[in-house]
Amino acid sequence: MGYGFTVDEPRDGVAVGCAFDNDRMSYVRMVMIEAGVLTGDGVEAVFRLPGLEPGDESLPVGTFIGVGARVTGAQAAFIAERTRRAVSLGVISDLLEFLDDAPPSAAVREWTEQFAAFNERAASVGGYHIV
């Protein structure tokens, strides 16, 4: 099982523009929480860095737990901007310091940047589906 993201309506054989297995998505999700992209259900950022506070644009954390959700173009642009800002502020290496057996920072950064790039592309076409 894993996560796939597509700009097309979900159906059998739909082209997936970005995908992660559950393990990789858990690290990308942690970055999104620290970036203020995801909030709710008791989830809070550890570092609470200035400029990464949750706000009105933040999505419910449940959006990226499971499949079936839709992300709008405006939400995709917000995700891309915030995740890129979190990367530039060193959030990934800070987060991984707390975890045993974490993958290398470079790998998590690559996954996060891949996801940010997909969100930038999806923002220009109206968003995407989580499949």
Written as one letter, the residue type at 111 is W
Strands 18-21 vs 38-39: parallel, antiparallel or unpaired: unpaired
121 burial type by CB count under 10 A (0-12 exposed, 13-18 middle, 19+ buried): middle
pLDDT for 63-122, tens place per residue? 999 899 999 999 999 999 999 999 999 999 999 998 999 999 999 999 999 999 999 999
pLDDT for 2-48, tens place per residue? 999 999 998 888 889 999 999 999 999 999 999 999 999 998 898 88
pTM score > 0.85 for this model?
yes
- The count of domains in the chain is 1
- Contact criterion met (CB below 8 Å) for 129 and 70: yes
